[in-house]
Amino acid sequence: MTTGVVWDGAADLPTVLVFDPAPPSGPAELPPAWRALTDRRQVVWCRFAVDRALAEADRLLGDPDAFGRPIDAVVHGDPSDVLDVLRRHAGPLRAVVVVDAEPGAVWEVPGVRVVTVGRSHTPPRAITGDAVSADVTGALDALDADDLGEAVGPERQQERTDTDE
């Protein structure tokens, strides 16, 4: 039996849930290009072309204790069945990172930030590759920095207000 969902990285780390559209091939493991990210994130890889993999990701997203926070999802293109799962579980999601979006394409997951990386490619880049991993890692780092800025910003303003009195 082929496993469609695999993960690596400590359970208490922020989670990146990658939806890989490629048909199953080779062993069910995290692609080498994504392994370096596991020191900072729990990487969950869903090969959604594998039977029941998308249902498993759906179930895991519905379990409040399954993943560390924040949870960011990564999609390639606009797989409607994956977007349906993400829309059902928008609550725990911080962002959806869309890889190699078509010009003018809009993805909407209510209440969730949508970030696009790369550009439209023909043929599309493999989500397992080094360049896509680097693009997504950069987007996740920017999201973390934004969140840190939002968390620190009001405190800094409050500190300035307190010292001005």
Per-residue model confidence as pLDDT tens digits over 40-76: 999 999 998 888 899 999 999 999 899 999 999 999 8
Q: Would you state the structure tokens that stand for residue 18, as one six-digit string? A: 């990658």
CATH number reported for the structural domain that contains residue 20 in this entry: 3.40.50
Q: What is the pTM of this model?
A: 0.85
- Domain of residue 114 covers 5-164
- The number of domains in the chain is 1
How confident is the model at residue 76, as a pLDDT?
Answer: 87
| Residues 6 or more apart whose Cβ sits within 8 Å of residue 26 | none
